[in-house]
């Protein structure tokens, strides 16, 4: 799967909802009910970060929930890519991009949303074929104002910004023409997960899924 083909698939996934939940799952028992709660609230695209020991098993469990599209976040190495694909991830997300990571996604046929934070990084990924990219860390790297500015000289690239985004500021991003969706963790608070309050998470998901976007 070429980078251009990966970006076409990534765009499809990003257009499923205005927000892609960024999930850190510490307890495997939370995986399936969390996926069910988020999907019920209108957020079908789920990014499970590979930051915990049970992350791959969580992807396996969530991939079985009807209506969901489960991806693996925090891909850093080719080994991460292979493990994520084997666990059932249908897309990958990385904080940055390396030649080895890109090659692994091509070899494994895993659509990648590669991370970029500067104009040069964005241009380098576009040159390879990635027209859909993750902007990370969004708030720390310049926020919505930066993405609005970068859209003038590089209109060919669309973004899913992630990092420090909340419900309050998400509209600042979603109102831009070069933003397909945003990534956020606020829809799955650790407290709600620990308490098993899946109804609260569904409510947060519904609120997020109702956010308007321009693209």
**What is the predicted pLDDT for the residue at 180?**
98
Burial profile 89-124: b = 16 or more Cβ within 10 angstroms, e = fewer: bbbbbbbebeeebbebbbebebbbbbbbbeeebbbe
Residues 68, 66: Cα–Cα separation, whole Å: 6
Q: Averaged over 90-103, what is the pLDDT?
A: 98
Confidence of residue 198 (pLDDT cuts 50, 70, 90): very high
State the Cα torsion 181-184-189-193 to the nearest 10°.
70
**What is the predicted pLDDT for the residue at 214?**
86
Strands (DSSP E) along 139-206, which ranges?
158-161, 182-184
CATH number at residue 167: 3.20.20.70
Residues 99, 179: Cα–Cα separation, whole Å: 25
12 assigned to some structural domain: yes
Q: Averaged over 166-171, what is the pLDDT?
A: 98
The range of the structural domain enclosing residue 54 comes to 3-209
Q: Averaged over 174-187, what is the pLDDT?
A: 98
93 assigned to some structural domain: yes
**What is the predicted pLDDT for the residue at 57?**
98
154 assigned to some structural domain: yes
Question: Considering 9, 36, 47, 85, which one is annotated as catalytic?
Answer: 47
- Residue 36 annotated to the active site: no
**Can you give the pTM of this predicted structure?**
0.96
Model confidence pLDDT, tens digit, residues 13-47 = 999 999 999 999 999 999 999 999 999 999 999 99
Question: Considering 9, 36, 85, 134, which one is annotated as catalytic?
Answer: 134
> Positive or negative, the Cα torsion across 8, 11, 16, 20?
positive
Model confidence pLDDT, tens digit, residues 60-96 = 999 999 999 999 999 999 999 999 999 999 999 999 9
Cα distances (angstroms) measured from residue 42 to each of 165, 169, 203, 204:
19, 20, 10, 10
Find all residues with CB under 8 Å of 117, minimum gap 6, and list them: 96, 135, 136, 137, 141
Overall number of domains in the chain: 1
215 assigned to some structural domain: no
The DSSP 8-state label assigned to residue 179 in this structure reads B
Residues 122, 134: Cα–Cα separation, whole Å: 9
22 assigned to some structural domain: yes
- Residue 47 annotated to the active site: yes
Contact 37, 12 (CB under 8 A): no
- DSSP sequence for 140-154: TTTHHHHHHHHTTT-
């Amino acid at each position: 799967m070429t980078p251009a083909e990966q970006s076409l698939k990534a765009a499809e996934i990003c257009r499923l909802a205005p927000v892609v939940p960024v999930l850190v799952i510490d307890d495997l028992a939370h995986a399936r009910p969390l996926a069910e709660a988020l999907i019920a609230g209108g957020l079908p695209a789920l990014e499970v970060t590979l930051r915990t020991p049970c992350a791959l098993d969580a992807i396996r469990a969530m991939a079985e929930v009807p209506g969901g599209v489960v991806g693996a976040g925090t891909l850093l190495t080719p080994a991460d890519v292979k493990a994520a694909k084997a666990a059932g991830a249908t897309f990958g997300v990385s904080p940055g991009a390396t030649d080895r990571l890109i090659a692994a996604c091509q070899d494994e046929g895993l659509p990648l949303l590669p991370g970029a934070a500067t104009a040069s990084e964005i241009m380098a990924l576009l040159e390879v074929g990635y027209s859909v990219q993750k902007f990370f860390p969004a708030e720390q790297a310049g926020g919505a104002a930066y993405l609005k500015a970068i859209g003038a000289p590089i209109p060919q690239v669309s973004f899913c910004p992630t990092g420090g985004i909340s419900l309050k500021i998400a509209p600042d991003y979603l109102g831009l023409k070069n933003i397909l969706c945003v990534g956020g963790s606020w829809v799955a608070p650790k407290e709600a997960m620990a308490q098993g309050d899946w109804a609260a998470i569904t409510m947060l998901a519904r609120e997020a899924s109702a956010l308007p976007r321009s693209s």
